[in-house]
Amino acid sequence: MPRINSSAELDALRQEILSQRDPDQPCLTLCSGSACHATGCGKVAAAIEEEMESQGVADDVHFRRTGCHGFCEQGPIVVIYPEGICYLKVKPEDIAEIISETIKEKKIIERLLYVDPNSGENTTLEEDIPFYKNQERLVLGFNLKIDPKSLEDYLAVGGYQALVKTLFEMTPEQVVGEVKDANLRGRGGAGFPSGVKWDFARKAPGDKKYVVVNCDEGDPGAYMDRSLMEGNPYGVLEGLMIGAYAIGSNEGYVYVRQEYPLAVDNLEIAIKKAEDYGLLGQDILGSGFDFTVKVHRGAGAFICGEETSLLKSLEGLPGEPNARPPFPATKGLWGKPTNINNVETWSNIPLIISKGADFFNSIGTEKSKGTKIFSLVGKVNNTGLVEVPMGATLRDIIYKIGGGVPGEKKFKAVQTGGPSGGCIPENLLDTKVDFDELTQAGAMMGSGGMIVMDEDTCLVDLARYFLAFLSDESCGKCNPCREGIRQMLKILTNITKGLGTESDLELLLELAETTKGASLCALGKTAPNPVLSTLRYFKDEYEAHIKEQRCPALSCKALIAFYIEPDKCKACGACFKQCPAEAIEGGKKRIHVIDQDKCTRCGSCVDACPKAFGAVKVMSGEPVPVAIAEEARNLG
Amino acid sequence: MSEILLQIDGKKVTAKEGMTILEAARSVGVSIPTLCDHEKLAPYGACRVCTVEADARGTTNLVAACLQPVENDLVVRTRSEKVDKIRKVLLEQMLAHAPDSEELQELAQVYGADKDRFEAESSFCILCGLCVRYCAEVKKKHAVGFFDRGAKREIDFIPEVAIRECWDCKECFPLCPTSALQAAYVLTEALMSPPASSTKGCNSCG
Ligand SMILES: Cc1cc2nc3c(=O)[nH]c(=O)nc-3n(C[C@H](O)[C@H](O)[C@H](O)COP(=O)(O)O)c2cc1C
Ligand code: SF4
């Protein structure tokens, strides 16, 4: 691989790569992110290679393994270009047919197409699938176009143009100015203006400075950063180099959590390739700019995502937050000025430099510009990664992209912002995705977690779940966070067990105020959010638990009971067979009865009872009727 | 070092750049309660009872006086309804661990904290870290440290180090605002065999 010594040489290489690629040549792509690895894309890939060979198309068809497409519950996903035909949930045994029918004969295989769960209609092209159609994939879009192991692919889609522009046409001040003008705000949680932060680091005295990528991504269920790092590590690195040039740094670190082996692999390959081409190292493209980057694997503690903890962890110290000030921009890694940004923030930089601040400002709301990637999960038909322009409403994301709530269930709330985010109720679904609007609604943007909940979710229990997470994952150093969460968690646990008292709600607010006001870092300052937002919008649920011993969602085990309605039971025995606690008295032609003392409230009987009978009733807040008399149990 | 002018509880204060609010307050005789602060140790910011209200550049923030640097035109209130309420709850949370601690009880009186507000906790330690930091920063021995995180965080002696160092030192004992430290040491001591001669090393290996 020849070292590239100038921007002209880079252009020549790009032209050479493009000249060897025929846009009309059939290209078959397979998504190979971590999620699809889990659903078996490795075997599908092997089958594709084998079939291409045996059906004699290996020379005419290009096969590319790309990063995550985002529609993970439908993976592995195969897309056939130039048409863009999209096949979902592809299995190795489908491949022979895909090649013989679709590649060779241009025939569509109906059974592999996307089926709309509501209308039952098929969609052939990827771009027409509602999940994709309603997104704006400015950042994530590269994941579909490149093989993360191929720097050439990145060059072919315009990669490193922003770096060339930066190094040869812009001063560091101009780069900072452009990012400031773009109004880019950090995607890692707090939404701090990135340009302003860069300016602090640039102006901070010191000749040694660092740039850092935060890929700790500790929010349970979130994988935006993982997918970007796995799918397009070049984009992250290009952004990082531009930032380094802007603040005057020659050394960067990427902090990736240990649990992301594929991200680490792809990143290391990308670094190696960039080094070989001279796109990392000394005198990059003959510009005089030197830059090296190292990968650090984090042990995977949630608190290590907090920037001051992350920097300590990079230094080999325990990951505990430091008070700010001093901010990392003035005193960061090894005491030197350091600029740390989230993976998605860095990924936006090449776009801003190439297309300009005006372009970036044309997308979004007044104070939140550009797009945001969310990890949409929970009770929603289409789960996966979605990228939308800022200003999109939660309703659009959940219904247009997510396809709404599955089954006959009713939507209840959407939780955004990770473990210390908040819940937003149905009547606020027109809230826009915007840093400030979400915060006003009692939730937050966070790094992009979005969990949809239906009527079966108990929001008191949800708040309890998040506080339990935070109680385990805080560093434990400061009193308001550690002890405040401990006490709030105890109260919530009691309420879900029906042991709450009326003064508990006041006490929760008082504890929340202390934890929010006095904690050292943002974990503690935001930890009460799950409690505060559910109390704000779903106070009636708390009250039902406390005053009526009733869980409206019929979910808190201590407050529910299962009861077989005698007039509906047909003595089919289905529940009797399923009950793991042997709590059901059955018998041939005998109305079944649940022994309330033995019942563990697992709910197996509800699922087992045939829909047509619907004899098992879930009850809460009312006494279970006395069991039917023995002599009345005989049926017919 | 340039001079910084600020206001604490209505008093005009001249401080040096780099000073904390706590230091500036002390310099003019304003007392702010602390539990994890110690003159020989670096500011730590764990107990948070030194939380004060500070107005800067048009916004009011709650900050820990022991860590927050002074800045020009800062207006600090060391007591306010909000501050007192926070201190009260913080003290109540710690009293659930160490109801008999004299230091906590004295502060509880001032802020009206009820030592029985929360159910008693099994550990006495309030994790102020005085022992851990004293051993590390002053004695440079690291015989006692923090273990685990979140609600499970605790202090413990590292037996291999403690067996060599602690017997003749025990300087951290009086620093502890609760009886937790001594208890932890006693436990550690019980686990290790008592040193034959505390000042000398093991005979066989020198
Ligand atoms: C408890 C906690 C966890 C965090 N975890 C992450 C994380 O996993 N990834 C991330 O990018 N930022 C995380 N942050 C935010 C970082 O502290 C920091 O604000 C961010 O890396 C700055 O980058 P940005 O300005 O590009 O968002 C976390 C913050 C807190 C308080
Ligand atoms: S707020 Fe929580 S996580 Fe942050 S320093 Fe305090 S104890 Fe640690």
Q: Where are the beta strands (DSSP E) in chain B?
A: 3-8, 11-16, 51-56, 59-64, 75-77, 144-147, 154-157
**Does B196 or A420 have the greater pLDDT score?**
A420
Of A194, A306, A373, the residue with max ligand 1 atoms within 8 A of its CB, to mutate for a pocket test, comes to: A306
Average pLDDT over residues A526-552: 97
* Within-domain flag for A52: yes
Of the candidates B69, B118, B150, the beta carbon closest to that of A471 is on B150
Mutate which of B4, B66, B89, B117 to disrupt the A interface (most A C-beta within 10 Å)?
B89
Contacts of residue B59, Cβ cutoff 8 Å, sequence gap at least 6: none
Whether residue A46 has pLDDT greater than 50 = yes
Domain that residue B180 falls in: 130-199
Task: Name the A residues in 531-570 with CB < 8 Å from any B CB.
Answer: none
Grade residue B168 by pLDDT with cuts at 50, 70 and 90. confident
Q: From chain A, pick out residues whose CB is under 8 angstroms from the CB of B82.
A: 517
Say if residue B82 is exposed, middle or buried (CB neighbours under 10 Å; 0-12, 13-18, 19+): middle
Distance between B33 CA and the closest CA of chain A, angstroms: 14
Whether residue A69 has pLDDT greater than 50 = yes
The CA distances from residue A38 to A31, A34, A189, A221, in Å, are 12, 6, 28, 15
For residue B1, what pLDDT is reported?
A: 62
* Complex ipTM: 0.92
Grade residue A33 by pLDDT with cuts at 50, 70 and 90. confident
Average pLDDT over residues A105-124: 92
For residue B41, what pLDDT is reported?
A: 97
* Within-domain flag for A7: no
- Closest by CA to A287, choosing from A123, A406, A391, A164, is A164
* Within-domain flag for B74: yes
* Within-domain flag for A15: no
* Within-domain flag for B55: yes
Average pLDDT over residues B40-62: 96
For residue A299, what pLDDT is reported?
A: 83
Domain count, chain A: 5
Phi-psi bin for A503: left (phi > 0), alpha (psi -120 to 50), beta? alpha
Grade residue A576 by pLDDT with cuts at 50, 70 and 90. very high
For residue A75, what pLDDT is reported?
A: 87
For residue A609, what pLDDT is reported?
A: 96
Tell me: do B75 and B135 sit in the same domain. no
Tell me: do A263 and A405 sit in the same domain. no
* Cα–Cα distance measured from residue B62 to residue B77, given in angstroms and rounded to the nearest whole number: 10
H or E stretch covering A27: strand A27-31
Whether residue B186 has pLDDT greater than 80 = no
* Cα–Cα distance measured from residue A122 to residue B14, given in angstroms and rounded to the nearest whole number: 75
H or E stretch covering A608: helix A604-608
Provide the CATH number for the domain around residue B148. 3.30.70
Ligand 1 atom closest to A474 (CA): 1
CA angle A371, A377, A378 (to 5 degrees): 145
* Within-domain flag for B205: no
- Closest by CA to A526, choosing from A372, A415, A422, is A422
For residue A193, what pLDDT is reported?
A: 98
* Cα–Cα distance measured from residue A67 to residue A231, given in angstroms and rounded to the nearest whole number: 4
Q: From chain A, pick out residues whose CB is under 8 angstroms from the CB of B86.
A: 480, 513-514, 517-518
Provide the CATH number for the domain around residue B71. 3.10.20.740
Ligand 1 atom closest to A219 (CA): 8
* Cα–Cα distance measured from residue B24 to residue B11, given in angstroms and rounded to the nearest whole number: 11
- Please give the distance, rounded to the nearest whole angstrom, from the Cα atom of residue A436 to the centre of ligand 1: 17
Grade residue A117 by pLDDT with cuts at 50, 70 and 90. confident
Grade residue B194 by pLDDT with cuts at 50, 70 and 90. low
Tell me: do A528 and A572 sit in the same domain. no
Tell me: do A535 and A409 sit in the same domain. no
The separation between CA B139 and the C-alpha centre of its own chain, rounded to angstroms, equals 17
Ligand 2 atom closest to A481 (CA): 2
For residue B147, what pLDDT is reported?
A: 93
* Cα–Cα distance measured from residue A197 to residue A455, given in angstroms and rounded to the nearest whole number: 42
CB A146 within 8 A of CB A66: yes
* Within-domain flag for B181: yes
Grade residue B185 by pLDDT with cuts at 50, 70 and 90. confident
Mark which of B79, B113, B141 sits at the end of a domain: B79
For residue A606, what are its two tokens? 């509800």
- Closest by CA to B74, choosing from B26, B31, B30, B24, is B24
AA letter at A272: K
Record the pTM. 0.94
In chain B, the residue whose alpha carbon lies closest to the alpha carbon of A319 is B149
* Cα–Cα distance measured from residue B83 to residue B33, given in angstroms and rounded to the nearest whole number: 11
**If you ran DSSP here, which 8-state letter would residue B69 be given?**
B
* Within-domain flag for A406: yes
AA letter at A614: G
Provide the CATH number for the domain around residue A600. 3.30.70.20
Distance between B51 CA and the closest CA of chain A, angstroms: 7
- Neighbouring CB atoms inside 10 A of A366's CB total 11
The CA distances from residue A219 to A223, A328, A628, in Å, are 8, 22, 49
* Within-domain flag for B178: yes
Return the sign of the alpha-carbon dihedral for residues A264, A265, A268, A273. Answer: negative
Average pLDDT over residues A474-498: 98
Ligand 1 atom closest to A321 (CA): 31
Contact A472 B51 (CB under 8 A): no
Tell me: do A306 and A255 sit in the same domain. yes
For residue A406, what are its two tokens? 């599955």
Ligand 2 close to Cβ of residue A515 (< 6 A): no
Whether residue A508 has pLDDT greater than 60 = yes
Ligand 1 atom closest to A214 (CA): 11
* Within-domain flag for B138: yes
Domain count, chain B: 2
AA letter at A350: P
Whether residue A86 has pLDDT greater than 60 = yes
Tell me: do B70 and B134 sit in the same domain. no
Contacts of residue B53, Cβ cutoff 8 Å, sequence gap at least 6: B60, B61, B62, B76, B77, B80, B82, B83
Tell me: do A310 and A384 sit in the same domain. no
For residue B202, what pLDDT is reported?
A: 40
* Protein residue with least CA distance to atom 1, ligand 1: A523
Q: From chain A, pick out residues whose CB is under 8 angstroms from the CB of B118.
A: 487
Tell me: do A268 and A344 sit in the same domain. yes
Tell me: do A324 and A207 sit in the same domain. yes
Tell me: do A97 and A183 sit in the same domain. no
Of the candidates A474, A483, A489, the beta carbon closest to that of B93 is on A483
Ligand 2 close to Cβ of residue A523 (< 6 A): yes
Peptide bond just before A76 cis, omega within 30 deg: yes
Contact of B96 with chain A, judged by CB distance below 8 Å, is answered with yes
* Cα–Cα distance measured from residue A501 to residue A524, given in angstroms and rounded to the nearest whole number: 25
pLDDT digits (tens, 9 = 90+) for A606-618: 999 999 999 999 9
**If you ran DSSP here, which 8-state letter would residue A125 be given?**
B
Of the candidates A301, A325, A478, the beta carbon closest to that of B69 is on A325
**If you ran DSSP here, which 8-state letter would residue A503 be given?**
T
* Cα–Cα distance measured from residue B134 to residue B172, given in angstroms and rounded to the nearest whole number: 7
- Closest by CA to A414, choosing from A538, A276, A551, A593, is A538
Contact of B152 with chain A, judged by CB distance below 8 Å, is answered with yes
Ligand 2 close to Cβ of residue A381 (< 6 A): no
- Closest by CA to A184, choosing from A138, A241, A230, is A138
Half-sphere exposure of A6 (CA within 13 A, CB side): 3
For residue B201, what pLDDT is reported?
A: 41
Domain that residue A497 falls in: 459-547
pLDDT digits (tens, 9 = 90+) for A213-259: 999 999 988 999 999 999 999 999 999 999 999 999 999 999 999 99
Provide the CATH number for the domain around residue A432. 3.10.20.600
Q: What is the overall mean pLDDT for chain A? A: 95
Tell me: do A204 and A82 sit in the same domain. no
SS3 A79: strand
**Alpha helices (runs of H) in A304-342, residue ranges in sequence order:** 307-314
pLDDT digits (tens, 9 = 90+) for B65-78: 999 999 999 999 99
* Within-domain flag for B84: no
* Within-domain flag for A631: yes
Average pLDDT over residues A278-306: 95
pLDDT digits (tens, 9 = 90+) for A183-213: 999 999 889 999 999 999 999 999 999 999 9
Whether residue A283 has pLDDT greater than 50 = yes
pLDDT digits (tens, 9 = 90+) for A577-588: 999 999 999 999
* Within-domain flag for A71: yes
H or E stretch covering A62: strand A62-66
Whether residue B167 has pLDDT greater than 90 = no
H or E stretch covering A517: helix A504-518
Tell me: do A175 and A316 sit in the same domain. yes
- Closest by CA to A47, choosing from A86, A90, A95, A80, is A95
Tell me: do A174 and A231 sit in the same domain. yes
pLDDT digits (tens, 9 = 90+) for A414-462: 999 999 999 999 999 999 999 999 999 999 999 999 999 999 999 999 9
CB A81 within 8 A of CB A126: no
CB A615 within 8 A of CB A564: yes
Contact of B136 with chain A, judged by CB distance below 8 Å, is answered with no
Contact B153 A513 (CB under 8 A): no
Tell me: do A472 and A326 sit in the same domain. no
**If you ran DSSP here, which 8-state letter would residue B195 be given?**
P
CB pairs under 8 A between A and B: 96
Of A258, A314, A342, the residue with max ligand 1 atoms within 8 A of its CB, to mutate for a pocket test, comes to: A342
Provide the CATH number for the domain around residue A540. 1.20.1440.230
- DSSP sequence for A411-454: EEEEEESSTT-EEEEGGGTT-BS-HHHHHHTT---TTSEEEEEE
* Cα–Cα distance measured from residue A210 to residue A229, given in angstroms and rounded to the nearest whole number: 20
Q: From chain A, pick out residues whose CB is under 8 angstroms from the CB of B153.
A: 475-477, 482
CA angle A430, A434, A438 (to 5 degrees): 70
- Owner of token pair 């096969």: A63
Whether residue B126 has pLDDT greater than 90 = yes
* Cα–Cα distance measured from residue A112 to residue A86, given in angstroms and rounded to the nearest whole number: 8
For residue B113, what pLDDT is reported?
A: 98
Ligand 1 site residues, Cβ closer than 6 angstroms: A 186-190, 192, 194, 214, 216-218, 303, 305-307, 340-342, 345, 447, 521-523
Radius of gyration in angstroms for the set of CA atoms belonging to chain A, rounded to a whole number: 28
pLDDT digits (tens, 9 = 90+) for A322-380: 999 999 999 999 999 999 999 999 999 999 999 999 999 999 999 999 999 999 999 99
Q: From chain A, pick out residues whose CB is under 8 angstroms from the CB of B46.
A: 477-479, 520
Mark which of A100, A132, A164 sits at the end of a domain: A132
Whether residue A134 has pLDDT greater than 90 = yes
pLDDT digits (tens, 9 = 90+) for A584-605: 999 999 999 999 999 999 999 9
